[in-house]
Amino acid sequence: MSTEPAAEHPNYLTVSHTVRSWLLTRDHKRIALLYLISISGFFILGGILAGLIRLELLTPQGDLLLSENYNKVFTLHGVIMIFFFLIPSIPAVLGNFLVPIMIGARDLAFPKINLLSWYIYTLGGIFTIVAAVTGGVDTGWTFYTPYSSIYANTNVVLTAVGVFISGFSSILTGLNFIVTIHKMRAPGLTWMRLPLFIWAHYATSIIMLLGTPVVAITILLVGLERALHIGIFDPALGGDPLLFQHLFWFYSHPAVYIMILPGMGVISELITCFSRKRIFGYQFVAASSLAIAAVGFLVWGHHMFVSSQSVYAGMIFSFLSFLVAIPSAVKVFNWTATMYKGSISLRTPMLYAFGFIGLFTIGGLTGLFLSALAVDVHVTDTYFVVAHFHYIMVGGAIMAYMGGLHFWWPKITGRMFSEVWGRIAAIVLFVGFNLTFFPQFILGFLGMPRRYHMYPPEFQVLNVLSTAGASILGLGYLLPAFYLLWSLWFGAKAGNNPWGAAGLEWETPSPPPVENFERTPVVTEEAYAYDKPQPHAVPEASRA
Amino acid sequence: MFQGMRFLPEQASTVASKVDALFFFLVGVTVFFSTLIFACVIVFALRYRRRSEAERPAAIHGSTLLEIIWSVIPLAIALTIFAWGATLYIHLTRPPQSSIEIFVVARQWMWKFQHPGGQRELNELHIPVGRPVKVTMTSEDVIHSFFVPAFRVKMDVLPGKYTTAWFEAVKPGQYHLFCAEYCGTSHSQMGGWVHVMEPAEYERWLAGDKPGESMAAAGERLYQRLGCQACHLKEGSGRAPSLVGIYGKPVQLATGQKVIADDGYVRESILNPQAKLVTGYPPIMPTFKGLVNEEQLTQLLAYIKSLRLEEKAQAQ
């Protein structure tokens, strides 16, 4: 293990130290860190709000908050976690840092646009925070009309502007990734040699680029109806409230895949590294990302089975929802098969990968309940749905994000974190998560509706269990905050490749130099050549 | 805290056990596949744990046969669940002809019910056991959702249109009614009870509630007061089409289309008369938007429906 002397070859962190050099940076690695800091702030805020929700639901009476405040709390929790944490989490932090390095490029295709996207995100965040501080918003993150466009007396427009603005940062990130992956791959890095992390980000970028404009327009229309009383969604003005739901879910269902696909990419990297195996069925795993992105655009109506959408539309959307389950299942089977006859090491990132597989499997299978029309009629809009999407988003997306953050932490910072604490945190998170959200499946089946400030007393025991779990979950998130920060000053030096992983990012120093590679690497092999001990890329100079 | 606690919801309607059968089939599928995956992960993690840092297991590239197997089998299971769920869903959307028809008007944050006999209730609904009940619902403001967990029935209630649901209770008792679509500040208190009664008890309740007049009678009074009869002559010779017997029948429109004169059409024709004009009649009807509220609209509807009965009675 060797690290370059900082004096000779400054890395991207040590090359300059001024605040200006950070705020005006065009280095994708520094922009990734700007995003890391911003989304961590939003995650803490969203987490505190989640804690407030769970604390209120400890008792059936509404004894902690007033109803209007409770409604604002769950709305802000949803808005922040979805638009300002989950959507940017893996792409804007890990993707930003790794996409160029993994394909042997010096930076993203449009470095200035990359910086712009962070500023746009920040501006959107400021609008949302201002909206929250100056009165809040109580429409739910789904902004259903005509409640949001006519009846709500809260800061709908300001919040909507915040979400509208932040959408553009997503569009720009997607555009940047697509162009970069098409045009800037190192010599020899063909499409079929790309790491699956790149395939997943490619599929995600397509959704960002095609889906986000639709939600932007929808939000704009809500604003127009609210401000100018142009009848679009309110039947009293000649509009159609279902139109909003169609437009909203046309983006917001694919948005679920924006959140989970990059996580799937991370898991493919973790499973292969800690099993020392080539991924099982590379083409199928890569193609399933694209299949999910494509079919994911055609299932939005499954959010509307009891909305008075036509019965036949409901049947088509149900059918397509069952189809989209198959590529996800294929991924899980391939990850499991990758471990077969491997050399499995249970380091911290691998524990997160196991957590992901377990929780995503349950989250995915409970999605079948919601795709099945008659069962959905009973459980939709109840805690069953809340449990299901938290299994996908917290159990899936955040587990993958945590796994990825731990896996690439040595690369990003040049330091190792405490392995013991890392494993403890992963286990605490897994236990806390299940205790929080599993009881909610039962609550939903029993009929407890979501977004309820008060509830009948017979639901209390399960709510107490859920709140107890949430406190363990909260502790699980605090631990990494401490030991990761600790590692920045006291962690062991990481070296280029602490995990013995394959991939171009492990062939450059940790932290990488500003230009990522001293010489453009040339790729001669497929990804995940774990059966060979040698690095699979050679410097261009020694190619002849 | 443990009072009334349970882990399975009450099955109080004819469809509840059918929905639950599919639900528990899905639980079985979930348990099977989760166990399979978890077992593989755990067994592989133990059996193939890294024994030396120098280990380099041989590469396995994959198996097209396996990929086909683990795509096709889940697909077959998924399509079975789809067909099962869809069949039941169609059953849920088709109320039997013999249903008692109850009109529901939702608003922030209460449920208003009108029985055919004119009885009105707020946040409480009394129905008999063993008879199908159809609810026709609309909202005066935002979207709400009618949800009775014990019946496994849920349907959104929208402003500007009618939605319907139906159920047949099988067990007398008192069951939660919830609003399941977030509708503002007091959403969580927009609930009530459905009281399922033995038929005899239900009859007593109907009689004891002392309705002033039936919905159809109230509708007729309103019809006269609004002057509808001035144009809609019963014989059809007026400036507007006769409404006798039109309910549920196809209507020929000026555009050449045909529509069924159902609840939604009648409602639209009162509020927005020019939207679907009957062929051969001039567009002279004014809108009654703002002159009749949702409850009065349902009374007019009940009266127009009764004109069909009257016609039948005359024919006999």
Report the chain A residue with the minimal C-alpha distance to residue B63: A281
Looking at every residue in chain A, the average pLDDT score rounds to: 93
The answer to whether the CB atoms of B70 and A278 lie below 8 A apart is no
Average pLDDT over residues A293-312: 94
CA distance B304 to B298: 10
Task: Please say if the pLDDT value at position B118 is more than 90.
Answer: no
Residues 6+ away with beta carbon under 8 Å from B187: A67, A71, A451, A452, A453, B109, B179
Decide if B11 touches A, using CB distance below 8 A. no
CB A30 within 8 A of CB A37: no
Average pLDDT over residues A491-506: 93
Per-window interface: B 48-87 vs A, CB < 8 A: 48-51, 53, 55-63, 66-67, 70-71, 74-75, 78-79, 81-82, 84-86
Strands B132-139 and B124-128: unpaired
The answer to whether the CB atoms of B81 and A372 lie below 8 A apart is yes
Chain B residues closer than 8 Å to A150 by CB: 142
Residue with tokens 């028809």: B101
Per-window interface: A 53-112 vs B, CB < 8 A: 62, 67-68, 71
Per-window interface: A 149-178 vs B, CB < 8 A: 150-152
CA distance A490 to A484: 10
Complete domains list, chain B, with CATH: 1-44+65-212 (2.60.40.420), 215-315 (1.10.760.10)
Query: Distance (Å) from the C-alpha of residue B58 to the closest C-alpha of chain A?
Result: 5
pLDDT at position A535 is 52
Task: Please say if the pLDDT value at position B61 is more than 80.
Answer: yes
The answer to whether the CB atoms of A445 and B178 lie below 8 A apart is no
Chain B residues closer than 8 Å to A530 by CB: 56-57, 59
A460 token code pair: 């209390």
Other residues' Cβ atoms within 10 Å of the Cβ of residue B284: 11
CA distance A76 to B152: 31
Q: Is B122 helix (H, G, I), strand (E, B) or coil?
A: strand
Residues 6+ away with beta carbon under 8 Å from A521: A104, A186, A504, A507, A537, A538, A539, A540
Confidence label for A336 from pLDDT (cuts 50, 70 and 90): very high
Task: Please say if the pLDDT value at position A118 is more than 60.
Answer: yes
Q: Is B106 helix (H, G, I), strand (E, B) or coil?
A: strand
CA distance B200 to B266: 35
Where in chain A are the domains?
29-506
Q: Both ends of chain B: CA-CA distance in Å? A: 62
Look at phi and psi of residue A381 and say left if phi exceeds 0, alpha if psi is from -120 to 50, else beta.
Answer: left
pLDDT at position A538 is 39
Chain B residues closer than 8 Å to A235 by CB: 158-161
Chain A residues closer than 8 Å to B76 by CB: none
pLDDT at position B53 is 85
A-B contacts at Cβ under 8 angstroms: 296
pLDDT at position B2 is 66
CA distance A30 to A9: 17
Which of A168-182, A200-214, A408-422, B53-67 is the least confident region?
Answer: B53-67
Q: Using CB atoms, which residue from A314, A374, A449 is nearest to B22? A: A374
Looking at every residue in chain B, the average pLDDT score rounds to: 91
Q: Using CB atoms, which residue from B2, B152, B185 is nearest to A378? A: B152
Chain B residues closer than 8 Å to A346 by CB: 45, 49
CB A392 within 8 A of CB A362: no
CA distance A248 to A147: 14
Residue with tokens 């590469």: B59
Residue with tokens 């069925």: A281
Q: Using CB atoms, which residue from A319, A323, A365 is nearest to B29? A: A365
| Interface predicted TM-score (ipTM) | 0.92
Matching CATH number, A29-506, of 1.20.210.10, 2.40.50.140, 3.60.15.10, 1.10.510.10 = 1.20.210.10
* B195 DSSP β-pair partners: B126, B174
Question: Phi/psi at A54 (nearest 5 deg)?
Answer: -65, -35
Chain A residues closer than 8 Å to B73 by CB: none
pLDDT at position B249 is 87
pLDDT at position A540 is 36
CA distance A398 to A477: 11
Report how far Cα A143 is from the mean position of its chain's Cα atoms.
21
Report the chain B residue with the minimal C-alpha distance to residue A306: B155
Q: Is B276 helix (H, G, I), strand (E, B) or coil?
A: coil
Chain B residues closer than 8 Å to A280 by CB: 60-63
Q: Report which of B82, B162, B92, B172 is spatially closest to residue B126, judged by C-alpha positions.
A: B172
A120 token code pair: 């746009």
Chain B residues closer than 8 Å to A342 by CB: 44, 48, 57
CA distance B71 to A55: 43
Chain B residues closer than 8 Å to A453 by CB: 187-188
The answer to whether the CB atoms of B56 and A533 lie below 8 A apart is yes
* % pLDDT > 90, chain B: 57
Q: Using CB atoms, which residue from A144, A151, A531 is nearest to B57? A: A531
pLDDT at position B55 is 85
DSSP code string of A163-217: HHHHHHHHHHHHHHHHHHHHH-PPTT--GGGS-HHHHHHHHHHHHHHHHHHHHHH
pLDDT at position A534 is 46
In tens, the pLDDT along A221-263 reads: 998 999 899 999 998 888 999 999 999 999 999 999 999 999 9
